Amino acid sequence: MHTPAWQYLESIDRATSDVSCKPNDYAAGVFIERHRHNKHQLVYAVQGVLCVHSDHGQWIVPPNRAIWMPAGVDHWIRCIGITLMRSVYVHPRAAASLPIQADDRPRAVAVTPLLRELIVAAMAVPQPYVRDSRDGRLMALLVDELQALPTLPLHLPQPRDARLRAICNALRDQPASPDTLADWAGRIGIDVKTIQRLFARETGMTFGQWRQQTRLLGALERLAQGHKVVDVALDLGYDSPSAFATMFKRQFGQTPSRFFA
């Protein structure tokens, strides 16, 4: 099921206040077509999991995380499960001092309990609001809370080099594949060191790091759909559920079960 971009953008970019919000409830599998905003967007869902794409990469976003999507950046979204999306839009003039506004790249951020409640409350604020009012102070506090958001390792950068894209597409399609760099070097006709240089230049990661990251994001998507940890671990090529849980906790600071609690 596709949601046309014009339908999604209809009331967002017209809002005149520094901060505006939009609630959208989607059925499982809804796809929001490629679009952009003239404001920064905090892409967040209080229920369900989002798969957010841009030309910079891909993110899997559970309810304790969000994506900061800078103004003017094309992106498209797929909803995994029934999704209650609660987006916050911030005018660039109100975001100039935010650390997450350091560049024009999207990034995954943690959502604190306070920020979650501020987002939920902000959905009821009418547009336009008076800055020196309860509504205005609520929105200002929401922007203040964005100051403290840490960037999280939920990003899978996408290479531009066609040879590297072939490798990355195969790793996404078959995350349990044991193929090594030497295997790929023989398959596509370039040496191992060239592939290593390409990965470093195009993704900022090694081959092993990129493969682990695509497995992590694949695990997040499967877990969000209700798959058992043991099945996810084996499907993604881990020797055991405990090995998978150890890697997951090292990356996210929590076991898979606690992460989705």
Residue 136 makes CB contacts below 8 A (sequence gap 6+) with 129, 130
User: Based on the domain organization, do 109 and 87 belong to the same domain?
Assistant: yes
User: Based on the domain organization, do 39 and 128 belong to the same domain?
Assistant: yes
- pLDDT (average), residues 233-259: 83
Q: Report the C-alpha gap between 30 and 47 in whole angstroms.
A: 14
User: Based on the domain organization, do 141 and 240 belong to the same domain?
Assistant: no
Task: Return the SS3 of 61.
Answer: strand
Domain that residue 214 falls in: 159-259
Q: Report the C-alpha gap between 201 and 18 in whole angstroms.
A: 37
Note whether residue 151 is domain-resident.
no
Provide the whole-model pTM: 0.73
- pLDDT (average), residues 152-181: 85
* Least confident span in 44-58, 64-78, 241-255: 241-255
**% of the chain beyond a pLDDT of 70:** 90
Q: Is the pLDDT of residue 41 over 90?
A: yes
- pLDDT (average), residues 33-42: 93
Which of 253, 251, 246, 212 has the alpha carbon at shortest distance from 229? 246
Confidence of residue 88 (pLDDT cuts 50, 70, 90): very high
CATH code (residue 45): 2.60.120.280
Q: Is the pLDDT of residue 10 over 60?
A: no
Between CA 43 and CA 52, with CA 47 as vertex, the angle to 5 degrees is 35
Q: What is the pLDDT of residues 144-159, one digit of tens each?
A: 988 877 777 667 888 8
Q: Report the C-alpha gap between 249 and 251 in whole angstroms.
A: 5
In this prediction, residue 252 carries a pLDDT of: 72
In this prediction, residue 2 carries a pLDDT of: 59
Higher pLDDT, 113 or 7: 113
CATH code (residue 234): 1.10.10.60
Q: Is the pLDDT of residue 5 over 60?
A: no
- pLDDT (average), residues 239-261: 80
Note whether residue 153 is domain-resident.
no
User: Based on the domain organization, do 245 and 173 belong to the same domain?
Assistant: yes
- pLDDT (average), residues 79-102: 84
User: How big is the chain by its Cα radius of gyration, in Å?
Assistant: 20
- pLDDT (average), residues 202-207: 89
Both tokens of 40, joined, read: 């920064």
Note whether residue 154 is domain-resident.
no
User: Based on the domain organization, do 91 and 59 belong to the same domain?
Assistant: yes
Count of domains forming the chain: 2
Both tokens of 183, joined, read: 């295997």
